[in-house]
């Protein structure tokens, strides 16, 4: 994949939103996010048909603005929505299985420590999501923050592999993540909770 697409990677589900997710995503794409992940997960999230209906609407916005649309975890949903890509974690289906099933989709894989990285089938995936870099209140089962050191370590081991930092990243600390060698930052609350989405995206 082209690493510049990871530059401002926005992740959201309705559970992250205090107002209409469609409005929030529209403002974010207009402000210049470079990729979007639909992550309908955790307390308050939608399931079943309501999840699919919202996913369709968000997918359509990304299509209109030519932004790659990713689905988190849910392979069936990724298929139904015609997603450009899928993001899976270490506890999710093996990345190799996902690749076998979706040879043409962009596949992202989470890595939080050296052991995970060593055991990861990098040849089967297109980018790595590394973190949580900083403490986050958004994901209740997030692992211990690994700091920007984790980003620089991956970058040293894999100088050219597309890499995005995630977890507790905001307009104040995103530069540290970039300076450590990431191709971009993946954020939820820095955009969903922003008073001014346009300003937040610009500043990231």
Ligand X SMILES: Cc1ncsc1CCOP(=O)(O)O
- For residue 203, indicate whether it is catalytic: no
Return the sign of the alpha-carbon dihedral for residues 52, 162, 132, 98. positive
CB of 142 to ligand X, least distance (A): 5
Q: Is 189 annotated as a binding residue?
A: yes
Which one of ligand LCLJCK34, ligand X, Mg ion, none interacts with residue 189, CB within 5 to 8 A by kind? Answer: ligand X
174 binds ligand X (CB under 6 A): no
Toward Mg ion, which CB reaches closer, 73 or 126? 73
Interacting span for ligand X (CB under 6 A) from 23-31, 43-51, 115-123, 182-190: 182-190
Distances (CA, A) of 155 to 67, 76, 117, 175: 25, 32, 12, 16
Q: Is 102 annotated as a binding residue?
A: no
CB of 37 to ligand LCLJCK34, least distance (A): 6
- For residue 110, indicate whether it is catalytic: yes
Interacting span for Mg ion (CB under 5 A) from 77-85, 89-97, 124-132, 153-161: 89-97
Report DSSP letters for 21-75, one per residue.
HHHHHHHHHHHT--EEEE---STT---HHHHHHHHHHHHHHHHHTT--EEEES-H
Toward ligand X, which CB reaches closer, 9 or 75? 9
189 binds ligand X (CB under 6 A): yes
- For residue 39, indicate whether it is catalytic: yes
Distances (CA, A) of 51 to 45, 71, 147, 192: 8, 11, 33, 18
Separation of alpha carbons 68 and 40, rounded Å: 17
Separation of alpha carbons 194 and 29, rounded Å: 14
Output the known binding site for Mg(2+). Answer: 73, 92
Annotated binding site: 37-41, 72-73, 92, 110, 136-139, 168, 188-189
């Amino acid at each position: 994949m082209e690493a510049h697409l990871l530059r401002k990677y926005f992740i959201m589900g309705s559970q992250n939103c205090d107002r209409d997710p469609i409005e929030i995503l529209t403002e974010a794409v207009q402000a210049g996010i470079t990729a979007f992940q639909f992550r309908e997960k955790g307390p308050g999230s939608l399931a079943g048909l309501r999840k699919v209906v919202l996913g369709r609407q968000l997918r359509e916005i990304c299509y209109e603005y030519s932004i790659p649309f990713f689905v988190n975890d849910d392979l069936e949903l990724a298929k139904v929505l015609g997603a450009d890509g899928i993001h899976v974690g270490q506890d999710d289906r093996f990345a190799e299985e996902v690749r076998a099933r979706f040879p043409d989709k962009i596949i992202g894989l989470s890595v939080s420590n050296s052991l995970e990285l060593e055991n990861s089938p990098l040849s089967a995936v297109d980018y790595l999501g590394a973190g949580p870099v900083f403490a986050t209140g958004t994901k209740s089962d997030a692992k211990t923050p690994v700091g920007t050191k984790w980003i620089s370590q991956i970058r040293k081991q894999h100088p050219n592999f597309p890499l995005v930092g995630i977890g507790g990243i905001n307009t104040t600390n995103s530069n540290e993540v970039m300076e450590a060698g990431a191709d971009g930052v993946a954020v939820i609350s820095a955009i969903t909770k922003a008073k001014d989405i346009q300003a937040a995206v610009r500043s990231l």
